[in-house]
């Protein structure tokens, strides 16, 4: 009888430990989401460029080196806008700020909101591509038939590894539905998105 009591108690201990493991691993599955984001932020491996870059004053321009930056623009599923870079590629010196424009127009007869999501290739260069101004920092509303030229200002870091001579920046534009009717001046805040 004493043995059985012992058995019962240790069974519940095993169950408790196992359930703790199960709950812990379920939580770990969800923890992988922020962990992955942080890991990608540090290493840049998923090609997601980071958010707004504050240009320092003492940026050295490396005149001896040139880097070609190519631009791609494509539409996400169901997106009907015309979306393309105004120039396909530019050649810059590392450290030199450069402004390029992307063209978008809404050919439909309804007001829409778009969100551009960037991706840089090769991913090794992600950490060395800085955007001081980008249309991808915010959502872009366009009324029916309206078109816009959206600016991107970027600096290629002089620390960019020597063997990288070409960077490709690709934007995918996603349909975010109809503009949200917001009364008051808070509009700019509510549509800010940390897509970077």
Partner 1 sequence: MSAVADTHNQEHHHGPAKGISRWLLTTNHKDIGSMYLIFSFAMFLLGGSMAMVIRAELFQPGLQIVQPEFFNQMTTMHGLIMVFGAVMPAFVGLANWMLPLMIGAPDMALPRMNNWSFWLLPCAFLILVSTLFMEGGAPNFGWTFYAPLSTTYGPPSTTFFIFAIHIMGVSSIMGAINVIATILNLRAPGMTLMKMPLFVWTWLITAFLLIAVMPVLAGAVTMMLMDINFGTSFFDASGGGDPVLFQHVFWFFGHPEVYIMILPAFGAISHIVPAFSRKPLFGYPSMVYATGAIALLSFLVWAHHMFTVGIPLAGQLFFMYATLLIAVPTGVKVFNWVTTMFRGSLSFEAPMLFAVAFIILFSIGGFSGLMLAIAPADFQYHDTYFVVAHFHYVLVPGAIFGIFASAYFWLPKWTGNMYDETLAKTHFWLSFVGMNLAFFPMHFLGLAGMPRRIPDYALQFADFNMVSSIGAFMFGVTQLLFLFIVVKCARGGEKAPAKPWDGAEGLEWTVPSPAPYHTFTTPPEVK
Beta carbon nearer to partner 1, 103 or 174:
174
Beta carbon nearer to partner 1, 106 or 115:
115
Handedness of CA 96, 193, 127, 104 (dihedral sign): negative
Beta carbon nearer to partner 1, 3 or 64:
3
Q: How far is the CB of 32 from partner 1 (least distance, A)?
A: 5
Q: How far is the CB of 36 from partner 1 (least distance, A)?
A: 5
Q: How far is the CB of 134 from partner 1 (least distance, A)?
A: 15
| Among 118, 121, 133, 122, CA closest to 174 | 118
Beta carbon nearer to partner 1, 30 or 183:
30
Give residues in contact with partner 1 (CB under 8 A).
Answer: 7, 10-11, 14-15, 18-19, 21-26, 28-30, 32-33, 36, 40, 43, 45-48, 76-77, 115, 117, 121, 123-124, 172, 174-176, 193-195
Interior angle at CA 130, CA 59 and CA 168, nearest 5: 125
The residue length of the chain stands at 196
| CB-based contact 182:190 (threshold 8 Å) | yes
Q: Which residues, at least 6 apart from 43, have a Cβ–Cβ distance to it below 8 Å?
A: 127
Q: How far is the CB of 140 from partner 1 (least distance, A)?
A: 13
Q: Which residues, at least 6 apart from 99, have a Cβ–Cβ distance to it below 8 Å?
A: 133, 151, 152, 153
């Amino acid at each position: 009888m004493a043995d059985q009591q012992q058995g019962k108690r240790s069974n519940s201990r095993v169950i408790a430990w196992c359930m703790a493991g199960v709950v812990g691993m379920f939580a770990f599955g969800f923890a992988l989401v922020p962990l992955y984001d942080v890991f990608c932020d540090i290493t840049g491996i998923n090609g997601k460029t980071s958010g707004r870059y504050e240009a320092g004053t003492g940026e050295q321009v490396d005149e001896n080196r040139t880097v070609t930056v190519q631009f791609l623009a494509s539409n996400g599923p169901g997106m009907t806008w015309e979306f393309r870079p105004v120039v396909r590629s530019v050649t810059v010196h590392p450290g030199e700020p450069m402004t390029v424009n992307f063209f978008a127009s809404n050919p439909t007869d309804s007001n829409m909101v778009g969100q551009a999501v960037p991706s840089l290739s090769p991913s090794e260069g992600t950490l060395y591509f800085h955007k001081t101004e980008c249309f991808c920092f915010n959502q872009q509303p366009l009324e029916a038939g309206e078109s816009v030229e959206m600016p991107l200002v970027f600096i290629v870091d002089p620390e960019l590894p020597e063997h990288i001579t070409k960077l490709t920046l690709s934007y995918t534009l996603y349909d975010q539905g109809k503009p949200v009717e917001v009364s008051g001046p808070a509009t700019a805040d509510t549509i800010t998105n940390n897509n970077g």
